[in-house]
Amino acid sequence: GNSVTQMEGPVTLSEEAFLTINCTYTATGYPSLFWYVQYPGEGLQLLLKATKADDKGSNKGFEATYRKETTSFHLEKGSVQVSDSAVYFCALSEDAGGTSYGKLTFGQGTILTVHP
Amino acid sequence: DTAVSQTPKYLVTQMGNDKSIKCEQNLGHDTMYWYKQDSKKFLKIMFSYNNKELIINETVPNRFSPKSPDKAHLNLHINSLELGDSAVYFCASSQGLVARVGEQFFGPGTRLTVL
C-alpha cells in the first residue's frame, strides 16, 4: 500500500534559519504529492503541491520538488518566521485511473517551532 | 463565510454515550471526508462520500456511522463511545474524486474527549 514517511520532529529553529523537512513516499502508479500545514487550533490547509516528476511546488516562500528517482518531496524555506510555527504534513494521492477517490495518505506530521 | 464548518468544536462526554458531529460545506463540492487525528497528530481517513454515496470506508469500528443527507452535509454518529475515541475529528471536502488537480478543504476540527 501507499505510505509517506516524514522526518521525526519536533523541529525548533531560530527566526531566519533555513528549514528542511524531509519526506519520502512509497506508492504504486504516479502519485500527486502535497504539503499541508496545520496552524495551532485550526484545520489543515494546502501549502503546495506537485503532480508529476520534477515539478516544483511553491507558496509563501516554501518550496518542494517532486523527485521520482529518490521518491522524495522535501519541504524547504530559506528564512523561517515565527508565524511559520505549525505542524507540516506531507501527503500523496494516487491517481489509479481515476479510482483513487481523492484519498490522501498522510505522513505523521512534523511539528515546527520558530523562536524569535 | 466559513467554507467548511463543524459543530460542535468541543465535545466532552462519558464512556458509553452516543454522540454526533455535524459538518457542512458551502463550496459546492461533491466529495466530503472524515478524518481522525490522534494525540500525536497522526491523521487517518475514516470515510468519504461522493454525491451522497459512500466511496471510502476504512477499517473503522461499526460504532461509527456516517450520514450524508445531501452533498453539502456529512455527519458522523458514534455509538457507545470508548476512551480510545478521544481525538480531533476533521471534516474535509473537495471537488471531484481525484485529488490530482484539486485540494481538500478542511474544517476547524471537533475535539472529542471521552471520560
3-state SS of B38-93?
CCCCCEEEEEEEECCEEEEECCCCCCEEEEEEECCEEEEEECCCCHHHCEEEEEEE
Q: Which residue has the higher pLDDT, A28 or B99?
A: A28
Residue A51 gets the label, from left (phi > 0), alpha (psi -120 to 50) or beta, of alpha
Contacts of B112 (CB under 8 A, 6+ apart): B11, B13, B19, B21, B78, B81, B85, B86, B87, B88, B89
- Whether the CB of A41 is below 8 Å from some CB of chain B: the reply is yes
Strand partners, A80: none
Give pLDDT, residue B24: 97
Using a CB-CB cut-off of 8 Å, the residues of chain B touching A103 are 45, 48, 56, 99
Nearest by Cα to B99 from A30, A60, A56 = A30
Q: What one-character-per-residue DSSP string does B2-25 give?
A: -SEEEE-SEEEE-TT--EEEEEEE
The answer to whether the CB atoms of B99 and A44 lie below 8 A apart is: no
Give pLDDT, residue A100: 55
- Window A:96-115, CB contacts with B under 8 Å: 98-104, 106, 108-109, 111
Using a CB-CB cut-off of 8 Å, the residues of chain A touching B101 are 51
Pick the residue from chain B with its C-alpha nearest to A48: B103
Whole-number Cα distances in Å, B83 to A7, B109, B115:
29, 18, 7
Using a CB-CB cut-off of 8 Å, the residues of chain A touching B31 are 101-102
What would the mean pLDDT of A36-58 be, rounded to a whole number?
93
CB A5, CB A92: distance < 8 Å: no
- Residue A115 buriedness (CB in 10 A; 0-12 / 13-18 / 19+): exposed
Nine cell digits for residue A116: 524569535
Give pLDDT, residue A20: 97
Nine cell digits for residue B19: 454522540
Q: What is the pLDDT of residues A56-95, one digit of tens each?
A: 999 999 999 999 999 999 999 999 999 999 999 999 987 6
Give pLDDT, residue B99: 54
Pick the residue from chain A with its C-alpha nearest to B5: A43
From A38's Cα to the closest Cα of chain B, the distance in A is 10
User: How many CB pairs lie under 8 A apart between chains A and B?
Assistant: 75
Using a CB-CB cut-off of 8 Å, the residues of chain A touching B107 are 43
Q: Which of A42, A93, A108 sits opposite B100 (nearest CB)?
A: A93
Mean pLDDT of successive 10-residue segments in chain B (115 residues)? 90 97 94 92 89 83 92 95 96 76 85 97
> Which range (A45-54, A101-110, B90-99) has the least confidence?
B90-99
Residue A83 phi, psi (nearest 5)? -70, -10
The answer to whether the CB atoms of B92 and A100 lie below 8 A apart is: no
